Structure 1
Amino acid sequence: MIAVLGDEEEANRRLEKAVAAARAEYEQQTTGGEIASLASDLTGAAAQADNLSDALKRVGLRLLEIA
């Protein structure tokens, strides 16, 4: 369970870094409308990350039940 949560935390940190880097680069190269579009895309990515986090938690809980 600890390994699963550790992997989840690492995945979340990497995702946050990637999102921040993409956002910074994109903001430098785009206009307001394009930034709004990216913000929408990033919101979708964040929702997917939340779904992944929830799934990993369920897997961890299931592993505890099995153990």
Structure 2
Amino acid sequence: MPGLISFMLTRFVAGAGLGCIAGLVIWNNGFLRMSAASSTDYYLAQGLFVYLFASTMGLGYMATALMLDDD
């Protein structure tokens, strides 16, 4: 695998992992008072909320790492 692709993938996965942790902490601490109609809706909302944080932080972490890389 070329160096740039592995660099981008590792940075994106690291950022997405941090985003998942942040999303789960915010969801589980009750900062948001979410009430859903059923348990399926609750889990769907939680998954989308965590995905929101994971994708945003993953792309941000990767873009910042690419910008600050001085090769």
Name the TM-score, length of structure 1 as normaliser.
Answer: 0.49
Name the TM-score, length of structure 2 as normaliser.
Answer: 0.47
Compare the two structures and name the one with the higher helix fraction.
1
